Structure 1
Amino acid sequence: MDLAPLAVMIVDDEAPARDRLRDLLGDIASEQPTQVVGMASNGVEALRQLEDVKVDVLLVDIRMPAMDGIEFAQHASRLTFPPKIIFITAFDEYAVQAFELAALDYLLKPVRAERLANALQKVRKSSNSTRDVIDTIAAPRRHLTCSERGKIHLIPIGEVLYLKAELKYVTARTLNREYLLEESLVQLEGEFPDRFVRIHRNCLVAREAVIGFERSVGEDGGEGYWSVRLNNVPELLPISRRQWANVRAVLGD
C-alpha cells in the first residue's frame, strides 16, 4: 500500500546541512515519501513558520543561534498538534545519550540515508505524544510562548515581572503588556526556581524585579498583611501568610 507523504520541516543554522537533508529525503522518497514544507535556520524562525503550516515531523539541529534545538522542541511540543521530533547532531554517541529521551529519534552528522529512512519509519509507527516526551527535558527555556489568534508570541523569560494563575490560564506580566499562558504555575515554578519566588498560591514574582515590601491594613480594620512592590508595576501584589517567612528569607527584609 502506498504511504502518504510526511510533511517535514528542516531546522538547521547551516544552509548546506539543510540542503543535504532535503536531498537525502529525495533519495529515499520511494521508501519513505515526504514533502518538505519548511526550512528554518533557528528555532525562532521555525516557530514562526509553524504558525502557517502543518508539520508531521521536525528534523532539528541541536546547536543553533537565537534558539537552540532543545528549547525549540520544548515550545513545539506545546502546540495543539505537536509534530514528532528527530534531532540532528554532531555530538558523539556518549553525548547524544543525554538527548535520547527528548525526541523520537536522533541522527548523527553526517546523516546517512538508511538511518534517516529508519527514523521516518519510527515516526509512522509511533503513537507516543511529543508533548509527554519533551516534558522530560530539565533545562529551563529562555522564552515562554503565547498563542493569540493563530500567532505565536515569544516572551523572553528575563522580561517577565510576575506570573499569576487565573482560572485555567497563567498571566505573564512584562513591562509592556500581559500574556495568557496555557501552563501551570507549579510547572513554571519548578522550571525557573532561580528566577521566580512564590509569594502566594496563585503568584510568582521575578526576584530581580522586587524593589520593596509594604504593609497594608486589612479590611474593616482587621489584621494587616504584607505586599510586594515590583519595579515599574503600579499594583501591589499581596504575600500570603504562609509564604511570608520564605519570601523574607529569600528576598531580604
Structure 2
Amino acid sequence: MEIVASFDDGMDVLKYLQHHEVDAIFLDINIPSLDGVLLAQNISKFAHRPFIVFITAWKEHAVEAFELEAFDYILKPYQESRIIGMLQKLEAAYQQQTSQPAANHENRDATTINLIKDERIIVTDINDIYYAEAHEKMTFVYTRRESYVMPMNITEFCSRLPESHFFRCHRSYVVNLSKIREIEPWFNNTYILRLRDLDFQVPVSRSKVKEFRQLMRL
C-alpha cells in the first residue's frame, strides 16, 4: 500500500481526485473548506469510486458515513490493532475487486455489507447474516454472535442483499436461505423456519408460502 498524496484542505482533495484515480481515501470529518462528509458525497459520484475510510474523533457522523457506504469508520483515539485490521480487510476487498475484471461497486456489495455497531461501521461477509427483523423504521440484523441496528426499513435493507441467498419470508423478516436447518409446518399452511446455531424461529407468512415452496422445491 502506497500513499500517493496528502492534503489539509477538502477542495484540494476534490481537485486532485478529478484528475487522478486512487484505490482508497482516508478522511477526517473536520476538514477546511469542504468537510469530510460533503467530500465523500462528491467522491461517491465518481465513475471510479475509491474505498472511503473515515478516521475521526466525531462519532456522531457514523450513520452518515454508512449511508455513503464508507468502507470503515474509525474513532480517535484508536489502537494500532484497529488500523492493522482495517488495512487487512481493505487489502482483501481490493484484491477481490481487481481479481474480477467485471467487478464494480455493485459486485463488491454482493459479498460484503456495511453494518453499524456501537457507532462503528463493520464490513461484514453477507453469508454471516442469519436473518433480519423489522422494527418500525429500523432493521435489526443478526449474525451468529452479534446484532446490529440499521437506520433503514427492512425493504431498503433487503435491496442491499443478493436475492440468490436471501428471502423476504414475511413483511417483518428476511432470512438467509443457507442458514435454514429445519422447515416446520405451521397453522394455516404456513411454516416456521429453525436456523442453524441460533435458538430462533423465523415465520413464513401465508402470502409468501407459494413462493417459498417453489424456492425450496417443497
Output the TM-score relative to the length of structure 2.
Answer: 0.56
Q: 1:180 aligns with which of 116, 140, 149?
A: 149
SS of aligned partner of 1:57: helix
1:204 matches 2:188: no
SS of aligned partner of 1:79: helix
What amino acid sits opposite 2:153 in the alignment?
Answer: S
The equivalent residue for 2:165 is: 195
Larger radius of gyration between Structure 1 and Structure 2? 1
Alpha carbons of 1:205 and 1:80: their partners in 2 closer, same or farther (altered >3 Å)? Answer: closer
Unaligned residue ranges in structure 1 (runs of 5+): 1-13, 35-40, 84-94, 100-136, 218-222
The equivalent residue for 1:230 is: 195
Q: 2:50 aligns with which of 69, 74, 77?
A: 69
Identity over aligned pairs, percent: 13
Alpha carbons of 1:196 and 1:57: their partners in 2 closer, same or farther (altered >3 Å)? Answer: same
Alpha carbons of 1:42 and 1:81: their partners in 2 closer, same or farther (altered >3 Å)? Answer: same
SS of aligned partner of 1:237: strand
Deviation at 1:145, TM superposition (A): 1.9
Per-residue displacement from partner, 1:46-93 (whole Å, max 9, x unpaired)?
Answer: 5xx768986252579999xxxx836879xx89428969xxxxxxxxxx
Deviation at 1:211, TM superposition (A): 2.0
The equivalent residue for 2:140 is: 171
What amino acid sits opposite 1:233 in the alignment?
Answer: L
Alpha carbons of 1:175 and 1:70: their partners in 2 closer, same or farther (altered >3 Å)? Answer: same
C-alpha contact (below 8 Å) 1:209/1:230 kept by paired residues: yes
C-alpha contact (below 8 Å) 2:63/2:151 kept by paired residues: no
Deviation at 1:177, TM superposition (A): 2.1
SS of aligned partner of 2:199: coil
The equivalent residue for 1:21 is: 5
1:216 matches 2:191: no
C-alpha contact (below 8 Å) 1:215/1:225 kept by paired residues: yes
1:79 matches 2:79: no
Separation in structure 2 between the aligned mates of residue 72 and residue 180 of structure 1, nearest angstrom: 21
What amino acid sits opposite 1:21 in the alignment?
Answer: A
Per-residue displacement from partner, 1:72-124 (whole Å, max 9, x unpaired)?
Answer: 79xx89428969xxxxxxxxxxx9xx98xxxxxxxxxxxxxxxxxxxxxxxxx
Alpha carbons of 1:143 and 1:177: their partners in 2 closer, same or farther (altered >3 Å)? Answer: same
Separation in structure 2 between the aligned mates of residue 193 and residue 206 of structure 1, nearest angstrom: 10
Q: 1:250 aligns with which of 179, 202, 215?
A: 215
What amino acid sits opposite 1:69 in the alignment?
Answer: P
C-alpha contact (below 8 Å) 1:145/1:181 kept by paired residues: yes
Output the TM-score relative to the length of structure 1.
Answer: 0.49
Unaligned residue ranges in structure 2 (runs of 5+): 14-21, 55-61, 70-100
Alpha carbons of 1:62 and 1:232: their partners in 2 closer, same or farther (altered >3 Å)? Answer: farther
Deviation at 1:139, TM superposition (A): 4.1
C-alpha contact (below 8 Å) 2:170/2:205 kept by paired residues: yes
Separation in structure 1 between the aligned mates of residue 127 and residue 133 of structure 2, nearest angstrom: 16
The equivalent residue for 2:126 is: 157
Separation in structure 1 between the aligned mates of residue 29 and residue 147 of structure 2, nearest angstrom: 21
